[in-house]
Amino acid sequence: MSGLISVADAFDALARNALPVRVETVSIDEAHGRQLIEAVAARVSRPPADMSAMDGYAVRLEDVRSAGARLTVIGEAPAGAPFEQTLGEGEAVRIFTGGEIPAGADHIVIQEDTARTGDEVLCSEGYEASRFIRKAGRDFHEGDRLLDEGAILGAGELGLLAAGNIAEVNVRRRLRVGILANGNELKPPGTHLKRGEIVNSNPVALADLIRSWGAEPVDLGIAADTLDAIAQRIENARDIDVFLPVGGASVGDHDLMRPAFAEAGFESLFEKIAVRPGKPTWFSTRGDTRVLGLPGNPASALVCAQLFLKPLITGQRHSLTKAALACDLETNGPREHYMRAFASFTDDGRLTVDPAPDQDSSLIKPFVTSAALLRRLPNAPAKKRGELEDIILTSLPRL
Ligand SMILES: Nc1nc2c(c(=O)[nH]1)N[C@H]1C(S)=C(S)[C@@H](COP(=O)(O)OP(=O)(O)OC[C@H]3O[C@@H](n4cnc5c(N)ncnc54)[C@H](O)[C@@H]3O)O[C@H]1N2
Ligand code: MOO
């Protein structure tokens, strides 16, 4: 496949050339943001036995149906030290929150409803039904599936694994994404710039996105505008899963990234996408290594990283959400347009989307307030404010 292809075909080509899944075992302390490569089952039940939800007395419900029952306290059941005997008629066991319910008991009288004198406890209330007992396995049983293959581990998932007595998990090895900038004009941030020089701003922003998608960014530096300089950087790179050349993607005399990778043996799968911004985005492959070439214009680079690098890294397709337009939109041109937009909720809870007024592909400022990409299909008709359009949420909408 080569030449100009549709966005849908680009997604398909990326999916067909998904990277092989490599596994590593990590401690749950280091597993934040990682992706499980297999389902995980609980090694214990939670709670492991019937537990008291309150501080009070474990009793037989039969004995406390009427107010004023007097019971003999025969022992204690604090959390961690179960009472081993069976409770009989007219007996109570002092119990604390998290204490195991002793055999024979089926109800907890809370401390506030009792008066204690020596070994005797007076229950001031009567009860119709058993209360304050958390049944064994209420959260999960031993052997239950806690998490599915593909789950991304966050606070809830990690807490669940720990509670299921699982200390290590098999996760997908982080992909290494090598960011290679290109252009004689580029200098690192903080440099005293001479005439004609500009700041190499794309890599730091791309590295942040790459980290947020669970991969590891690798800085391959800035290659000068010669085939040899680019070839040298490709050759020196170690253990890269995805090369991410930025800039030098178009048709100018100094746009040498694609030819340099072709000379290094990478086979082209597409060279341009009918997308705006980012038409010169290209994709090549060599064995288990991929190259996603991004245009140098910052908006093109960031939007196309969102659109095409994210699914390559995560293996997941984008999900679209509908949002109400905050302004009128004109008829779209022939390229599928992803507009940088601000997403927020109205007071009555509707999601609205407001595209940045200037969509030029050189601009970075719209990304600061932007939380969405507003999708306009090729030749989409004009739309009025209030009508719905598809968006990809790239961060949480503002409330
Ligand atoms: N005759 C044509 N010219 C262009 C076409 C075309 O089809 N025919 N396509 C245009 C489109 S669309 C885009 S997008 C750009 C993409 O160009 P390149 O990928 O070749 O990018 P460069 O020329 O290297 O740079 C473009 C622009 O971005 C600045 N830049 C580059 N790298 C960085 C960086 N790491 N950090 C910050 N800024 C960067 C660079 O200085 C340029 O200003 O081509 C159009 N041209
Ligand atoms: O596709 Mo380019 O990103 O329009 O400027």
Atom number in ligand 1 closest to CA 294: 19
CA of 26 relative to ligand 1 center, distance in Å: 41
Side-chain half-sphere exposure of 363, counting CA atoms within 13 A: 15
pLDDT tens across 10-33, in order? 999 999 999 999 999 999 999 999
Distance CA 160, CA 372 (A): 31
CA of 300 relative to ligand 2 center, distance in Å: 6
Bond preceding residue 47 cis, omega within 30 of 0: yes
Q: Which of 132, 84, 79 is nearest to 106 (CA)?
A: 132
CA of 246 relative to ligand 1 center, distance in Å: 9
Task: Report yes or no: 226 and 322 within 8 Å, Cβ to Cβ.
Answer: no
How many other CB atoms are found less than 10 A from the CB of residue 312?
A: 24
Q: Which CATH class is domain 28-46+139-172?
A: alpha beta
pLDDT tens across 41-85, in order? 999 999 999 999 999 999 999 999 999 999 999 999 999 999 999
Atom number in ligand 1 closest to CA 201: 36
Q: Which of 368, 334, 340 is nearest to 353 (CA)?
A: 340
Atom number in ligand 2 closest to CA 280: 1
CA of 281 relative to ligand 2 center, distance in Å: 9
SS3 232: helix
Q: Does domain 321-393 sit in CATH 3.90.1150.220?
A: no
pLDDT tens across 159-196, in order? 999 999 999 999 999 999 999 999 899 999 999 999 99
Atom number in ligand 2 closest to CA 275: 1
**pLDDT on residue 398:** 74
**pLDDT on residue 201:** 96
**Minimum CA distance residue for ligand 1 atom 9:** 250
The chain-wide mean pLDDT, for the chain, equals 95
Distance CA 127, CA 112 (A): 14
Among the CATH numbers 2.170.190.11, 2.60.120.10, 3.30.230.30, 3.30.465.10, which is that of 51-133?
A: 2.170.190.11
**Minimum CA distance residue for ligand 1 atom 4:** 250
Distance CA 364, CA 338 (A): 15
366 falls in which pLDDT band (50, 70, 90)? Answer: confident
pLDDT tens across 33-42, in order? 999 999 999 9
Is the pLDDT at 246 greater than 60? The verdict is: yes
pLDDT tens across 76-121, in order? 999 999 999 999 999 999 999 999 999 999 999 999 999 999 999 9
Phi, psi of 289 (to 5 degrees): -115, 140
Atom number in ligand 2 closest to CA 362: 5
SS3 120: strand
Give the containing element (helix H, strand E) for 41: strand 40-41
Q: Which of 212, 301, 287 is nearest to 250 (CA)?
A: 301
Q: For a substitution probing ligand 2, which of 282, 297, 339 has the most ligand atoms within 8 Å of its CB?
A: 297
pLDDT tens across 119-129, in order? 999 999 999 99
Atom number in ligand 2 closest to CA 360: 5
Q: For a substitution probing ligand 1, which of 273, 275, 297 has the most ligand atoms within 8 Å of its CB?
A: 297
Q: Report the pLDDT averaged over residues 315-337.
A: 96
Name all residues whose Cβ lies below 6 A of ligand 1.
Answer: 181, 183, 185-186, 198, 200-202, 246-252, 255, 277, 279-280, 295-298, 300, 361
Look up residue 46 and give its amino acid.
R
Is the pLDDT at 2 greater than 70? The verdict is: no
CA of 209 relative to ligand 1 center, distance in Å: 20
CA of 332 relative to ligand 2 center, distance in Å: 15
pTM for the predicted model, two decimal places? 0.85
Q: Are 4-22+173-314 and 321-393 in the same CATH fold?
A: no
Q: Which ligand is nearest to the CA of 279?
A: 2
Q: Which ligand is nearest to the CA of 247?
A: 1
Share of the chain above pLDDT 70, in %: 99
CA of 55 relative to ligand 2 center, distance in Å: 66
**pLDDT on residue 41:** 98
Sorted by where each begins, the domain ranges of the chain are 4-22+173-314, 28-46+139-172, 51-133, 321-393
Name all residues whose Cβ lies below 6 A of ligand 2.
Answer: 276-279, 295, 297, 300, 361
- How would CATH label the architecture of 4-22+173-314? 3-Layer(aba) Sandwich (3.40)
252 falls in which pLDDT band (50, 70, 90)? Answer: confident
**Minimum CA distance residue for ligand 2 atom 4:** 277
Atom number in ligand 2 closest to CA 279: 1
The set of residues, in sequence order, having a beta carbon less than 8 Å from that of 365 and lying 6+ positions away, is none
251 falls in which pLDDT band (50, 70, 90)? Answer: confident
Residue with tokens 């009070």: 56
Q: Report the pLDDT averaged over residues 370-376.
A: 91
Atom number in ligand 1 closest to CA 295: 19
**Minimum CA distance residue for ligand 2 atom 1:** 278
Share of the chain above pLDDT 90, in %: 91
Tokens representing residue 268 in the block:
């082209």
